[in-house]
Amino acid sequence: MPGSIIITGAGSGIGRVTARTFLQAGWRVGLIGRRADALNETAGDSGALVLPCNVTDAAAVDAAFDRTAAEWGRVDVLFNNAGTGLVTQTPDQVDPDEFRRVIDVNVNGVFNAARAAFRVMRAQDPQGGRIINNGSVSAHAPRPGSIAYTASKHAVTGITRSLSLDGRPFNIACGQIDIGNALTEMAEAMTRGVPQADGSNRIEPVMDAQVVADAVLHMASLPEGANVQFITVMATNMPFVGRG
């Protein structure tokens, strides 16, 4: 049976496609993002719960989860999707403030949402739920010039593993989807050419972001007691296996 899900970064890209996929499947969907107008565009006339807030603001994230729990009685799933990156730069070119900004969104933001979800899922009756973190193929192998993004996605993997362990006593499962070259605004550069490990600049294959949304729906729909711990969904011929 469809349940309730909160999706962060729901105003665009993978978050928007995933939100609409869950809505079409009959789920109750809460939309978190910085821009209310973008969230409203995602929601349309679906009745989705629009929850404008910045994931780096822990108090605001807590309030969004509290509102959702009050509205629906429970939160079954969190898709911890919000993230950001930098333009390709060697480490000496990266502004420390920009590095901190990426970590704040991709690590602290993921923690803030996971913390709030864990709190609600632990307290609700029946107890439990599922947290799905958006990782990246960069959690396995870096792209050139991606030190901030790659470091953040390795941290997400650590968060996923810790949540999986700490959630066991409370029936809270956690899994991670590592995505490669889903065609969104963020990945549009792949179609024009991006730096490769050998120093060249080449166009890379991409895939429809709907494939990612379908995989998240599968992960979220598993029966209690079953979990996808890690899944990699990628454009088949992208230069991931063997890169670096």
The residues annotated as belonging to the active site are 149
Asked if 11 contacts 33 with a C-beta cutoff of 8 angstroms, the reply is: yes
- Find, among 138, 146, 158, 157, the residue nearest to 240 by Cα: 138
Query: Dmax of the chain from CA atoms?
Result: 55
Give the Cα separation of 115 and 172 in Å (integer).
Answer: 12
Give the Cα separation of 181 and 225 in Å (integer).
Answer: 31
Which phi-psi region, left, alpha or beta, contains residue 98 (left: φ > 0; alpha: ψ -120 to 50)?
Answer: alpha
Give the Cα separation of 244 and 239 in Å (integer).
Answer: 10
What are the structure tokens assigned to 71, written together? 């509205």
What are the structure tokens assigned to 202, written together? 């080449």
Give the Cα separation of 136 and 152 in Å (integer).
Answer: 10
